[in-house]
A and B are shown apart, each in its own frame.
Chain A
Amino acid sequence: MEKFRKNLVLCAGTGCVAGGSMKVRDALREEIKKKGLEKDINLSLAACSGSCSEGPVLSVYPDEVFYQKLTAEDIPKLVEEHFVNERLYEKLIMREPEEKSSIPAMKDIPFFRYQVLRVLRNKGLIDPEKIEEYIARDGYQAAAKALTEMTQEDIIKVVKDSGLRGRGGAGFPTGLKWEFASKVSSDVKYMLCNGDEGDPGAFMDRSVMEADPHSVIEGMIIGAKAIGAHNGYIYVRAEYPLAVKRLQMAIDMATEMGLLGKDILGTGFDFELEIYLGAGAFVCGEETALMRSIEGKRGMPRPRPPFPAQKGLWDKPSVLNNVETLAQIAPIILNGADWYRTLGTEKSAGTKVFALTGAVNNVGLVEVPMGIPLRTIIYDIGAGMRKGRKFKAVQLGGPSGGCIPEGLLDIPVTYEDIVATGAIIGSGGMVVMDDNTCMVGTAKFFLGFTADESCGKCVPCRVGTRILLDILTDITEGKGREEDMATLEDLGRDIIATSLCGLGQTAPNPVLTTLRYFRDEYESHIRHKWCKAGVCRDLTTFWIDEKLCKACGACLRACPSKAIVGEKKVPHKIIQELCVHCRTCYETCKFSSIKILPAGFEGDPYELLGSEAKGEAKGGNE
């Protein structure tokens, strides 16, 4: 790493940025360059330290000097004094750099420190029902710029150069999609937004539509200009009532103020926007099915090509973008492609929003630069595992995604790296699972979902997912056969290769990734009738280790079928004939004295668990 004489840290909190941090940054860069100090001085942006009322704030290290209330005009003098003459620029020195408070600052809490908000730039700051508040935070400035100063080609070029890829899951370059549609000549074209968020555990799009509906509308206006569309639809599921309400209010207000409809902002450009409510079918998130659904037909996909850019909604050229993709557009237009690329990696530029859920402490909606390691998201932002439990897997991409094990947590979150694991980034659902999770059961859960949601049009998906589900169900009920694992893999690959749309083409991923990373669990289910997580009822025997039992009576009281006997100072026992395998005792015991053995186990538990512990230790060393 290069060593700099000085390290400057400029606050990039929303408060300081609103106060002009970015102009100060540009002025600093320019001045540093002018004075030939690029090799001496490093400038970086950082999280808020809580001096918001003094902002924009600049910290200089190693001097430990803090400047406050900076403007771009101050910078030449400041640079001259502090970095050339090595004298403090007294006028702007902050005397009490940090407000004395025992409340931690944003930069002190990993949940906030590692996040950078672009899509969620107005998160928690504006009232989504007041268009003025959106406008106050540079709202509709990008649309104004796109409609007045930019040609279709200009817009497409910026979006292409930014490297923005579709955030709905497939990761197709947004600029390229727009270019295809712009080149098709047609009197009618459609600009569409996909708000049919259907992955279990995902709530990114809902939050954006609820918290900042105008950011989506503005992205659509810009997209409409780029492709030459004058009509658009936002497809939202009816299960998102608050999102629908706020979107509708936003559309009404924007229309009333001339930001939608005829002659937008007096520029002569027309764009009419409507909401279309989906009925919650998962397949309607697939683009061709979504378009059929808007046409009033049954939501079923059709083969591509022709792609929607040629023949989409009502056979007219159409572009469909995800909510999050559209919310990224306005800042890209305002700040440029290079700005967008300051975060992320070469092929995965910018930021991505994730819905972090499951067994982590900080369940929430987070936005991070692409390329951040999964481990940082789970252990820093997510603050680690809830109740101190052990991490088992993280599920990315919902029913189309896969489960990533502990050993791969250091890979960066980019489209390519995640695909290499067998999972996908998908729309951004991130479900963290602990050691109480059965991975065969997890695969079964997702297959149950996709088998249910398969529209039935093509055989591989309709029949294939059902067969996968049946096999998985057999395995979890103790009817698994050795050859099932090979069948699951073969059939899974066939379904991927031959299904018509994205639903079938990705549905086997949860099975294939769990087989890849948690094969031992399948083997233990099939060969030993043993679900070590204690989830599959038919594959467990709950047993109390008398050496650990403190005879506290907690499990005895909690057992719903009165299957536990014992008294004070006498270790408790489970009467196997009465046990219904509900796990209640297992979760109640504070001393980990309840162990999970294979179904119908009759040998020596100590021997079995002892060899298991050894095997695990050995496995861990490998």
Chain B
Amino acid sequence: MARLTIDDLRKIKEKQSSDFSLRKGGYSAKVTVHMGTCGIAAGARDVMSALTEEVTKAGMDNIIVTTSGCAGLCAREPLATVEIINHPPVRYCDLNGEKMREIFKEHILGGNPVEKYALVRGCETTY
């Protein structure tokens, strides 16, 4: 990759924010599996494999599947966050592969959050 200039930084920022903003990028959903040491120890890899399997099975190419670090509530790992276009993100807790498959069908394909597994909706505070 080429060495960046300050102008490139700005361009990457713009490109990334439109790539990752669901609306502009043409995506319908983004699923983040939180994979810090705590999440992995609690079984986040199983959740991830179940998710990628379902996405492949359904042949969906407009879903972003990604990972991130610790989401903070280690007591309720594995955690995953599901964002559907035009809806607030929903964070699920105490997951396993089976629950993830159910969430995939109900929430990601069906558009209805699975309340029994959901922890919270919205975004965390920063200021």
Contacts and interface: CB of A to CB of B under 8 A. Distances in A.
Interface of A: 12-18, 21-22, 45-53, 99, 101-109, 111-113, 115-118, 120-129, 132-133, 135-136, 138, 140-141, 144, 148, 203, 206-207, 210-212, 240, 242-243, 256-259, 263, 265-266, 342, 361-366
Interface stretch (B31-39, B51-59, B96-104): B31-39
A106 B122 contact: yes
B74 A364 contact: yes
A207 B70 contact: yes
Contacts of B38: 203, 207
Which of B5, B115, B118, B127 has most A Cβ within 10 Å?
A: B127
Nearest to B85: A53
Contacts of A124: 32, 34, 68-72, 79, 81, 124
Contacts of A256: 1
A106 B87 CA distance: 14
B122 A107 contact: yes
Contacts of B43: none
B70 A365 contact: yes
B24 interface: no
Interface of B: 1-6, 9, 12-13, 15-17, 20, 32, 34, 36-38, 40, 66-76, 79, 81, 85-90, 113, 115, 118-127
Given A207-B70, A362-B75, A242 B122 contact: no
Contacts of B71: 123-124
Nearest to B77: A364
Given A15-B89, A106-B125, A121-B126, A126 B68 contact: yes
A136 B17 contact: yes
Contact of B36 (A47, A121, A242): A242
Which of B20, B75, B88 has most A Cβ within 10 Å?
A: B88
A148 B4 CA distance: 14
Contacts of B2: 257-258
Contact of B126 (A102, A117, A144): A117
B125 A115 contact: yes
A48 B68 contact: no
Contacts of A127: 66-68
Contacts of A362: 73, 75-76
Contact of B124 (A117, A132, A206, A342): A117
Contacts of B118: 103
B126 A118 contact: yes
Contact of A105 (B5, B85, B122): B122
Contact of B75 (A120, A259, A364): A364
B88 A53 contact: yes
Contacts of B34: 124
Given A16-B123, A18-B17, A242-B36, 7 more contacts: A53-B85, A99-B121, A104-B121, A115-B72, A363-B74, A363-B75, A365-B72
7 contacts: A17-B126, A18-B17, A111-B73, A210-B37, A257-B2, A266-B5, A362-B73
B16 A15 contact: no
Given A132-B12, A212-B69, A12 B81 contact: no
Given A105-B120, A211-B68, A116 B127 contact: yes
B3 A257 contact: yes
Contact of B37 (A115, A129, A242, A363): A242
Contacts of B20: 133, 136
Contacts of B86: 53
B123 A106 contact: yes
Contact of A258 (B4, B17, B88, B90): B4
Nearest to B68: A124
A141 B122 CA distance: 26
Contacts of B121: 50, 99, 101, 103-106
B125 A117 contact: yes
A266 B127 CA distance: 31
B101 to A, nearest CB: 19
B112 to A, nearest CB: 10
Nearest to B6: A144
Contact of A259 (B4, B15, B85, B89): B4
Nearest to B118: A103
Contact of A211 (B4, B36, B90, B126): B36
Nearest to B67: A127
A53 B115 CA distance: 19
Contact of A15 (B12, B13, B88): B88
